Amino acid sequence: MKNKLTNSNQQGTVPAIIAFVGVVLVIFIIALMNAPTMGGARVMSSAQTYFSEVRATAVPFMIFAVLAAMIAGFFIAREVKKVWPNVRRRKEFLTGYAFLAPYLIVTLTFTVGVILFALYISFTNYDIFTRPEWIGLANYKEAFAGFTDATKRDFLQALYNVLWYAAIVVPVQTILALRMAMLLNTPVKFKQFFRTIFYAPSVTSSVVITLIFMWLYMKNGYLNFFLQTVLGWIGINFEPVAWLADPRGLIQLIVEAFGGTIPSTQWYFRGPSIAWMAIMFQNIFTTVPTFMIMYLAALQDINPALYEAASIEGANKRQVFTQITRPLLRPITMMIVVLGTIGTLQVFDQVYLATSGGPLKTTLTPVFLIFTEALGVTGPITMGFASALAFILAVIIFALTFVQRRILTQGTEMY
């Protein structure tokens, strides 16, 4: 095996060329799979028909991909040439990329590739079965058309709904999770037992939990029965509510209690509907335990000497919490708030199963809208438009989590 070449400069040239060709080839194939062309059985029936489609619509995309591949290939080839003469470094380099290969291929295909594809088709009117046609920013304009045309307000209303959702669910679940973790962090017996019980709702699938809650929320279900009984004891007559079918908004209810009304044209003043709040409650029920576990682990990591010092200094419980516990938990709080925001802004399962976006679109969410638009559930298939919605949602998520990070990391420098 050891054909020692006399010139060490030449030694790595052949492997470097092989690496370059290999990288370009792999990325080329991945790009070919993700090329923005129409799909369908006829196009995909043979390589020929697919290639002719790629030639017709995806040449710029492929050129971009090949250029990127060549740049990546160049750097990798250069490294290969550099490490080749040294046996140990060569081994680590080759083993490293061999071990990373499955991850790199999967992520380049199913994350990077598909995102580039989605970015491209978000500027086209694409529906799988026809060639994507460039229409510029029209999809993005269409998404916000609701500002001027009330019949096209679906996306705006979906955003409005999830912003309420995040604004209520994230703080409530964070506070509850912290409270429960602190309760479990006190010296109690059967801690393991309680922790396991508390965590059970987070283990089960959201479909199961949603079905159970749909049943509990029925007009002749347990929740109405419970409220009627309990409120009956203190003499309040409670009318059963169809929890998942009631479009009345929170602010609307408050205003109506004072005799006012909010017309349906001003839906954006109505606040989250009863149906939406019912889903919020159920969501909190399933996510609190996960975050509780994270908080619990963070609480157990806090050095007990700090608490001892505080008690010697005569600090009361409140001071201990605000001066020690809260600041030390700040990184994990940030994590939980950010994860919670990302999760709540993308709520789908509960909506799909329980309400399908109704009543009066008060539980419509962006991801549900993306799903229905992309599959053409309510009209024609509009994958380009759906992709545009997805990117707008992603930008909003990035922006919100960025702001949260900025706010929550303020003042942590001293710890």
Partner 1 sequence: MTVTTRGKIKSTQYKSHRQAVTENVIRTFFRYLLLLVIGVIMLLPFIMAFLGTVKTDQEIMAYPPKFLPEIWHWENWARVWNTDLGAGGTFPRWLFNTAFLSVVVAVSQAAFGSMAAYAFSRLKFAGRDIVFNFMLATMMIPGAVTLIPAYVLMTKLQLINTFWSLILPGLVSAGSIFTLTSFFRSIPADLEEAAFIDGATHMQIFRTVILPLARPAILTVLILQFQSMWNSFLQPLLYLNSPDKYVLNVALSIFQQQYKSQWNLTLVGAMFNAIPILILFFIFSRYYIEGVTYAGIKG
Q: Which of residues 109-168 bind partner 1 (CB under 8 A)?
A: 109-115, 117-118, 121, 128
As a dihedral over the C-alpha atoms of residue 118, residue 119, residue 123, residue 129, rounded to 10 degrees, the angle is: -20
Question: What's CA 185's distance to the chain center, in Å?
Answer: 30
CB of 25 to partner 1, least distance (A): 18
Q: Is 393 in the site for partner 1 (CB under 8 A)?
A: yes
Among 79, 135, 306, 310, binds partner 1 (CB under 8 A): 79
Q: Is 92 in the site for partner 1 (CB under 8 A)?
A: yes
How many angstroms separate the CA atoms of 182 and 169, rounded?
A: 20
Nearest to partner 1 of 275, 386 (CB atom):
386
Which residue stretch of 17-25, 146-154, 207-215, 245-253 sits at the interface with partner 1 (rule: CB under 8 A)?
A: 207-215
Nearest to partner 1 of 275, 397 (CB atom):
397
DSSP 48: H
CB of 7 to partner 1, least distance (A): 23
Region of residue 411 (phi > 0: left; psi between -120 and 50: alpha; otherwise: beta): left
Q: Is 403 in the site for partner 1 (CB under 8 A)?
A: no
Contact set for partner 1, span 253-312 (CB under 8 A): 285, 289-290, 293-294, 297-298, 301
Nearest to partner 1 of 206, 252 (CB atom):
206
Q: Is 12 in the site for partner 1 (CB under 8 A)?
A: no
Which residue stretch of 14-22, 60-68, 164-172, 182-190 sits at the interface with partner 1 (rule: CB under 8 A)?
A: 182-190
Q: Is the peptide bond before 359 cis (omega within 30 degrees of 0)?
A: yes
Q: Burial, 166: exposed, middle or buried (Cβ in 10 Å; 0-12, 13-18, 19+)?
A: buried
- Three-state DSSP class for residue 141: helix
Q: Is 199 in the site for partner 1 (CB under 8 A)?
A: yes
Q: How far is CA 199 from CA 35, 208, 215, 222, 296, in A?
A: 44, 15, 22, 23, 12
| Residues binding partner 1: number (CB under 8 A) | 104
